[in-house]
Amino acid sequence: MKKRVGIEALAVAVPSRYVDIEDLARARGVDPAKFTSGLGAKEMAVTDPGEDTVSLAATAAARLLRQQDVDPARIGMLVVGTETGIDHSKPVASHVQGLLKLPRTMRTYDTQHACYGGTAGLMAAVEWIASGAGAGKVAVVVCSDIARYGLNTAGEPTQGGGAVALLVSEQPDLLAIDVGLNGTCTMDVYDFWRPVGRREALVDGHYSINCYLEALSGAYRGWREKALAAGVVRWSGTLPGEQLARIAYHVPFCKMARKAHTQLRLCDLEDAVGPAPSAPEAREEVAKSPASYDAQVSTSLGLNARIGNVYTASLYLALAGLLQREGTQLAGQRIGLLSYGSGCMAEFYSGVVGEKAAERMARADLESVLARRERVSIEEYERLMKLPADAPEPVAPAPGAFRLTEIRDHKRLYVEGAH
């Protein structure tokens, strides 16, 4: 019998501070609607030098083990997907293993491919378990990133930070992944990059959106071909994409999910077997259906709108937000997921929501995670943004959270807040 493998549970960690996106708009002399309606943003997470990729990843992973009562002895693999690593050689995963005192017999490494890195780690873990190589062990995959573009830049309102930790096992209470039903598309492009030594990324915004949509088209069509062959979807009644109960997308900003969904529908309309609008203008109009977007996508974006861009974790924040709201309703139904990383790489895959999804999400207690944050003024946000990365302020970490306290002889020292 084919093994059921997927995501058993998840946990989320976010920075301790945020700014209201309307405050930021007014401070920049911009109509707030440009950020709220134009980008779909409400709040934006703000990090300080003590909240780096390691501390966020360790906090999310520790929270996962604690909330879901995971025995560390079960873990055989730890992967961190990130594009904001803190060392050219030593992986974030090694820090997390040490801080959480996880088994020394496990495999640890980082995966990097811009925002796709977390999905790369997830697929490696899923295939490791499905192949039998895991020998009954589970994997922890952590997506941890800080999106930083700088003050008074075009990308400023699309910043953010945080981490999502995923427990991957043969008990996929959240999502049983359709192993082998993956569509991929990769291209060598310069749509977004961060040269060595830079804290802020460089991005060709409009070009990056076009690359995202082109890669999405290739990845979705690849998944659809396999899904049709497997009988998961069919060319009858409704379009194949409409036969997925929900679709979660990579979310650099919330309105990107609407663009992505329109593109996915265009793929189906352009390739349709049977009656479909033939004129490009008519297809475009049908593809933009608000009803389809509202039914399949909109309920996944609540967390993204309140945290901002989290690079590798953005898709998994959307998944968390979706299952937080609709875990009970979606139990037993198939959903689609689209991961995109600049440079570029896209992967579309699917899975069936578990019967215990609502129970697992209740343990994650996401509302409390957000409620513990502090809203700061624009002045305080700008002060934090100007702090040097190697000089963390002496701030005590919150209970159960990790924080960078010092960099001594190039070694990073962390402390955990008392429970």
pLDDT tens by residue, 92-111 = 999 999 999 999 999 999 99
Instruction: Specify which residues 79 forms β-bridges with.
Output: 109, 141
Catalytically annotated residue among 8, 115, 326, 416: 115
Give all domains of the chain, ordered by start, each with its CATH number: 6-417 (3.40.47.10)
Catalytically annotated residue among 250, 261, 326, 344: 250
Residue 3 is predicted with a pLDDT of 81
Q: How confident is the model at residue 280 (pLDDT cuts 50, 70, 90)?
A: confident
205 SS3 class: helix
| pTM score | 0.97
- Confirm if 315 and 339 have CB atoms less than 8 A apart: yes
Whether residue 1 has pLDDT greater than 60: no
* Cα dist from 238 to 171, 234, 241, whole Å: 32, 8, 8
Residue 273 is predicted with a pLDDT of 74
Q: Is 115 among the residues known to form the active site?
A: yes
- Confirm if 144 and 313 have CB atoms less than 8 A apart: yes
- Distance between CA atoms of 319 and 10, rounded to whole angstroms? 10
Q: How confident is the model at residue 210 (pLDDT cuts 50, 70, 90)?
A: very high
Q: Is 206 among the residues known to form the active site?
A: no
Exposed/middle/buried for residue 348 (C-beta within 10 Å: 0-12, 13-18, 19+): buried
Q: What is the DSSP string of 298-344?
A: GGG-HHHHHH---GGGHHHHHHHHHHHHHHHHHTT-EEEEEEEETTT
pLDDT tens by residue, 181-201 = 999 999 999 999 999 889 999
Question: Residue 409 is encoded by which pair of tokens?
Answer: 């002889």
Q: How confident is the model at residue 77 (pLDDT cuts 50, 70, 90)?
A: very high
Q: Is 250 among the residues known to form the active site?
A: yes
- Confirm if 118 and 81 have CB atoms less than 8 A apart: yes
- Confirm if 80 and 111 have CB atoms less than 8 A apart: yes
Residue 197 is predicted with a pLDDT of 86
Q: How many CB atoms lie within 10 A of CB 162?
A: 31
Question: Residue 404 is encoded by which pair of tokens?
Answer: 């960078």
Which residue, chain included where needed, has tokens 């570029």? 344
- Confirm if 171 and 160 have CB atoms less than 8 A apart: no
Q: Which residues contact 131 (CB under 8 A, 6 or more apart)?
A: none
- Confirm if 41 and 21 have CB atoms less than 8 A apart: yes
- Distance between CA atoms of 389 and 29, rounded to whole angstroms? 28
Whether residue 275 has pLDDT greater than 80: no
pLDDT tens by residue, 48-73 = 999 999 999 999 999 999 999 999 99
User: Rg for the chain (alpha carbons), in Å?
Assistant: 21
* Cα dist from 202 to 30, 150, 187, 311, whole Å: 22, 10, 18, 14
